[in-house]
Amino acid sequence: MEPYIYVLTTNGVLFLISIIFWKFPPKKINRLYGYRTPKAMQNEDIWKFANSTFNQVFLKYCGISFIAAFLLATIAKGTLTWQPMVFVALTILVSLIKTERAINENFDDEGKRLKNSN
């Protein structure tokens, strides 16, 4: 497969999804669309915070991943195989970890916002 097509169909599609999530965040807690972890679905306050945080982080790292994969396709001498997918996996992993950390820093186990958070 052509390296640029591969990057567009992996990292490019992920970047497009991140733009859609950012532009059209979920309005209410649901099981189909949005950042859906048990903690994020505890209450409306956590839901809005988690989706806002995830959408910002996801958009940022998807953009970085897309650019990095495109640069890799430009400088790669052979065909790309697993390399762009590593960027995809890292993007998702970093976005999940950063969002969960932000939730844990701002909310207690019962879903109440901590006093020192915004």
Query: Is residue 117 predicted with pLDDT exceeding 80?
Result: no
pLDDT band for 88, please (50, 70, 90 cuts).
Answer: very high
The share of the chain scoring above pLDDT 70, in percent, equals 97
Q: Can you give the pTM of this predicted structure?
A: 0.89
Q: What is the pLDDT of residue 57?
A: 98
| Residues paired with residue 107 on neighbouring β-strands, in sequence order | 113
Q: Compute the average pLDDT of residues 68-72.
A: 93
pLDDT band for 89, please (50, 70, 90 cuts).
Answer: very high
Torsion of CA 67, 73, 74, 76, to 10 degrees: 140
